[in-house]
A and B are shown apart, each in its own frame.
Chain A
Amino acid sequence: MSQLRELYQQVILDHNKTPRNYRGMADATRTVEGYNPLCGDHYTIYVKLEDGRIADVSFEGAGCAISKASASVMSSTVKGKTVEEAQRLFEEFHRLVTAGRRDEDVDLAALGKLAAFAGVNEFPARVKCAILPWHALRSAITGGGATVAIE
């Protein structure tokens, strides 16, 4: 039960119920779809880039509580950050959910609200849920493919 509470933290439940930046973006610089065919999680991430900075970011789509909250927290965290800063956050977040909060390399302070996803580490089947929106974002800001599929 404690592991479950650790997974479904208040921040995650809140962002799942009331996702931030949940909207389309007509003037997006980049639009990337993130799709997990295994569970059907499917999101579109919109990014507006201005001078190497993420001026705006939003998303639409559907999926589990973990993936939706992850997309929501991600969008509010990276807005206003430079592309390099967002990429560093991606790496930090990736380490958090794959290695867990006890990993000494994880910089919890830098992660801020993203630290709420530390509990995902205890649920290997759910790690991909948390990471899916981030893969889509990374593809958007580095100019990769239009669809990111992970399993």
Chain B
Amino acid sequence: MATPLLQELATPAAGILLCRHHFPLLRQWVNGKPLVYLDNAATSQKPQVVIEAMMKYYEEENSNIHRGVHYLSERATLAYEGVRRKVAHFVNAAHEREIVFVRGTTEGINLVASSYGRVHVGQGDEVLVSTMEHHSNIVPWQILCEEKGARLRVVPISDDGEILLDEYEKMLSPRTRIAGLAHVSNALGTINPVKEMVAMAHARGIPVLLDGAQAVPHMPVDVRDLDCDFYAFSAHKMFGPTGVGVLYAKTHLLEAMPPYQSGGDMIKSVTFEKTVYNDIPHKFEAGTPNIGGGIGLGAAIDYINQINLEAVQAHEHDLLAYATQAVAGIKGLRIIGTAREKAAVLSFVIEGIHPHDIGTILDSEGIAIRTGHHCAQPVMIRYGIPATARASFAFYNTKDEVDALVKGLHKAIEVLG
């Protein structure tokens, strides 16, 4: 079924420009130039409907949830729990109780490492991650391994930025207790064959956590099809607000896991002798949550469902191909991350020019990119570089903006080359 917005996306530039208008921030000028926002892997911009949904919540519904018998509390509870249903549907979870609200991907992974990890990882055991992980899918496991005397093992990647599947399979050992893998790499853009990797781990009885922060905004995700055990993602990278995210986990795992944080809302009854924990997912949601943020996430999902992720994917694929070709002619430029399957992330270095200088010069042209190690220092070490410049696209970006980027890069070379 083609919604009006999908039709806009299906038509060329004019349609895309209409969608851009849903994002008020993109209308501004920076340093005397129209803003070109190419830092979407860091955080996406928010459409008017998300901003308005949150405003409306605070203007009309604000109240604490799961507690009051009064009108507002019931309304807020209904709205918040409605978002949980929406999320479950969005990632095709079997049940809404498998959706735990967290602060973001980082907290989701920390929850699994602390709760599931503490129970299942012991001395001499192994936790498996890949070279391309974000620090948030490294450090929680590292801390767990240090505490337990376990070993963090790292699957190598090819020069193109693809996980070496043979090595991965070999490293799934009888001591491996869990594997933590990026669905899409934030620094390289690689889309990993996670369905296959989950199957390979499951064949050995090993559960898998997927870091979906960079996947969810760009492609349809079906957790049951992937058959992953845990899947974490953040609202703010999918056109929603900061401070709220989702941990999906299979029911039987959540049921067996001990609480992560404790306090109000995660309990059924408390006496000084004994506390009875609440049912899942509430057992993992201590304290008043980010209700307004949750409402914003719900609105972001509605928005994404309207624009259709397949159409988004096709447009971003075009943009990446266009950008990859456009920068190919720039002397001394090397793309870091050239996997066959890539999301719209263009990470690169230019010989003789540090990424920070590139970032400053592009900024003077109103172009926002990210420079640095992208919270993936092991990736930088893998390629023997201190940092990269990274342009990351969303569906609201245009080929004109890619042209502006290329022009800006020529200027950087002119100034510093």
Interface residues in chain A, defined as those with a beta carbon under 8 Å from any beta carbon in chain B = 1, 3-4, 7-8, 13, 16, 37-42, 62-66, 123, 125-126, 129
Contact = CB atoms under 8 A, between A and B. Distances in A.
Interface of B: 353-357, 360-361, 364, 371-373, 377, 380, 386-387, 415-416
A64 B364 contact: no
Contacts of A8: 357, 415-416
Contacts of A123: 360
A38 B372 contact: yes
12 contacts: A1-B364, A7-B360, A8-B415, A16-B416, A37-B377, A39-B372, A40-B373, A41-B386, A42-B386, A62-B386, A65-B354, A126-B356
A42 B416 CA distance: 20
Contacts of A65: 353-354, 357, 416
Contacts of B354: 39, 62-65
Nearest to B380: A40
Interface of A is mostly: mixed
Contact of B360 (A41, A62, A126): A126
Interface of B is mostly: helix
Contacts of A7: 360
A57 B37 CA distance: 43
Contact of A66 (B355, B357, B372): B357
Contacts of B386: 39-42, 62-63
Nearest to A41: B386
B178 to A, nearest CB: 28
A9 B154 CA distance: 44
Given A4-B415, A8-B415, A63-B354, A40 B387 contact: yes
A40 B374 CA distance: 11
Contacts of B355: 39, 64
Contacts of A16: 416
Across the A-B interface, the 10 shortest Cβ-Cβ residue pairs: A40-B386, A64-B354, A64-B356, A4-B364, A40-B387, A65-B357, A64-B357, A39-B356, A39-B372, A8-B415
A63 B371 CA distance: 13
B226 to A, nearest CB: 34
A43 to B, nearest CB: 12
Given A8-B415, A65-B357, A66-B356, 12 more contacts: A3-B364, A39-B355, A39-B373, A40-B380, A40-B387, A41-B386, A64-B355, A65-B353, A65-B416, A123-B360, A126-B356, A129-B356
Contacts of B415: 4, 8, 13
A39 B387 contact: yes
A13 B387 CA distance: 20
A123 B354 CA distance: 16
A125 B370 CA distance: 12
Contacts of A64: 354-357
Contacts of A39: 354-356, 371-373, 386-387
Contacts of A126: 356, 360
Nearest to A3: B364
A13 B353 CA distance: 11
A19 to B, nearest CB: 13
A105 to B, nearest CB: 27
Nearest to B358: A64
B340 to A, nearest CB: 28
B274 to A, nearest CB: 46
A65 B371 CA distance: 14
Contacts of A129: 356
A83 to B, nearest CB: 31
